[in-house]
Structure 1
């Protein structure tokens, strides 16, 4: 009988640790995020994007050229919450071979206009997850 009680106690302890790890993993995946796994580059658009943001902001296409600050190629306004099937248009054709990324920015000055850029980096700032910006690369379909 003592063996069964010890075994049951051990199983409950292990299950509790597994449950805590699952909760930690799911909470690590909550908050602002971009899902671009199925994103497709089509001319001057990137389609099939899903985002989660905890207040109004923007999804921005950046080109991370080597040695230069990321250029903003296009953006779309977002409301708070989860939005799927997003299609974002760039100012011109997108080169799938370049370093395209998608980044979340908050609307910080309440004018409903994306204002972040050279000389204006203190407004509509990037969304941060800890010390890192919420950004994902856009990989062309093979």
Structure 2
């Protein structure tokens, strides 16, 4: 971990609240002459390596997502250096793996603040990332 934070990982799921977290990441990167790594994850719960029809479908989705991510990055990260990363897998695991491999100085991500049954059913990606992250995590609370 290094301070000031220069390598900032910002997972984005196209939800407006994740874009709010991306703006936080942009401010931190601008203050520290850093780079924002915009990560989008195609959630896949099974190994599709032996299933070419699914691999092709996922690759097409990644291409569409990359176009959206580029537009978002140009809009929200105009004043900072940025790079787009796209992966597939279980989101919390992918975020932690990418943060380790970069290595990231900071992860900036949204937390949806779910409670009760919604949290039990949907789980909390932010909470899972916090438990296993190789660096500090800034959890930006979703506006309600």
Q: Give the TM-score taking structure 1 as reference length.
A: 0.29
Structure number with greater Rg is: 1
Which one has more relative contact order, counting CA pairs under 8 Å at least 6 apart? Answer: 2
